[in-house]
Amino acid sequence: MLPRVVSWRKLRFRFDWTLTAAMMAVMTLGLLNLWSAVRERQFQLFGQQLSWIGIGALVFLTVASFDYRLIARLGYLFYGAGVALLVAVLAGGKVVGGSRRWFDLGPLHLQPSEMMKVLLVVALAKYINDSPALQGRTLRHLLIPLALAAAPVVLIAAQPDFSTAIIVGLVFVTVMLVARLRLKTFAGIAVLCLLAIAPLWEYGLHDYQKNRVLAFINPALNPASAWQPRQAMNAIGSGRFLGKGFLQGTQIRLRALPALWTDFPFAVWAEEWGFVGCLVVITAYALLIVWAVKIGREARDRFGMGICIGCAAMLFWQVTINIGMVSGLLPVMGVTLPLISYGGSSMLTVMVALGLVMNVSVRRFAY
């Protein structure tokens, strides 16, 4: 017998309003920030983002409605479809800025690597649910999940999109740690990663990516590559404690800050709302992530637990890396700020992830 679809009436009474409120709070802050960033130029992006939020809300409710046990049964099929899309985009995707990451669908651009984050979480959660519950997983037990993660990481890095590949890798490590990975096994993997740094630097990174890392280590070596993070830090510093006020950011008005609505929206927010405003955003994200982990701890099975931990990890690492690169703590990488950065693929990916978390939440006590 196939799992049922929860009726809208039952879904309403089981709805996790804390998760929803945290999600809506971040989206509202994102819309305020986007309007400030684009109102004097490319203001049409604000309307497009509203459309993506509307579509995302429908996706969120749809994903939350289907019993996640059905999703578990089809987990590897969804994963295989995602890998096939990554292969297809390498073969015939649209090239933008030297990277082949998108399908050009007329008015829409689909980025399969974004959705692959969630599809990998589903596949890893299915593996954890179907495999025996072990006290400690060794390297032998990691061969299948390692293969599941390696395929998208390699394909995404080949686009090239190393920032998304890093996110996928970090999500994999986080989920495996929750799956009772032995400490010495984890240490062995860490050593292998350290040994891989030199060949990756020499043969895997493009010149512009190396320049970003070198500019992070010593900005004087390459002032051109250090210009973006320097402008972002200027914007953050000028916001001070309370900020300059909504629509009053001078870095925005002078157009000194690049990628305002995609990679650097946090700098826009920090300049206008200051340290206090940054705390508000970080608190909203923390509530969203911690609540997802809480739902995972209360899940009725390991698949639900894996889904929630994986989606929470995806949000955590994206937020951490984006804020880190904008504030000068990490090299510049093309990582979006979830629910705040402009972009359809990013918005839909996060809404699918949160829909899955809601799915687990509404069924914690249903059977």
pTM of the model: 0.89
Amino acid at 160: P
The predicted-structure confidence for 177-229, as pLDDT tens digits, reads as follows 887 767 777 777 778 778 877 887 777 777 777 777 777 777 766 666 667 77
| Predicted confidence band of residue 254 (pLDDT cuts 50, 70, 90) | low
Nearest-Å Rg of the Cα atoms of the chain is 21
pLDDT for 253: 66
For residue 203, what is the DSSP state? I
User: How far out from the chain centre does Cα 201 lie?
Assistant: 24
The DSSP line for 261-293 is: TTT-HHHHHHHHHHHHHHHHHHHHHHHHHHHHH
The predicted-structure confidence for 136-188, as pLDDT tens digits, reads as follows 666 677 788 889 999 999 999 888 888 899 999 999 989 988 877 677 777 77
pLDDT for 124: 94
Q: What does the domain layout of the chain look like in residue ranges?
A: 8-362
Whether 131 shows a pLDDT value over 60: the answer reads yes
Q: How many whole angstroms separate alpha carbon 44 and alpha carbon 53?
A: 14
Whether the link from the prior residue into 160 is cis, omega within 30° of 0, is yes
pLDDT for 2: 44
> What phi-psi label fits residue 343: left (phi over 0), alpha (psi between -120 and 50 degrees) or beta?
left
Q: How many helices (H) and strands (E) does the chain have?
A: 16, 3
- Is pLDDT larger for residue 41 or for residue 296? 296
Average pLDDT, the chain: 85
For residue 5, what is the DSSP state? B
| Predicted confidence band of residue 1 (pLDDT cuts 50, 70, 90) | very low
User: Can you state the percent helix, strand and coil of the chain, rounding each to 5?
Assistant: 70, 5, 25
Q: How many whole angstroms separate alpha carbon 148 and alpha carbon 131?
A: 14
309 with 170: CB under 8 angstroms? no
Cα 349 to Cα 57, 143, 215, 345, distances in angstroms = 12, 27, 31, 6
The predicted-structure confidence for 68-105, as pLDDT tens digits, reads as follows 888 889 999 999 999 999 999 988 878 776 778 888 77
Give the residue among 153, 17, 26 at the shortest CA–CA distance from 83: 153
pLDDT for 41: 74
Give the residue among 156, 163, 159, 72 at the shortest CA–CA distance from 121: 72
Arithmetic mean of pLDDT, 335-348:
91
The predicted-structure confidence for 268-310, as pLDDT tens digits, reads as follows 999 999 999 999 999 999 999 999 999 999 998 889 999 999 9
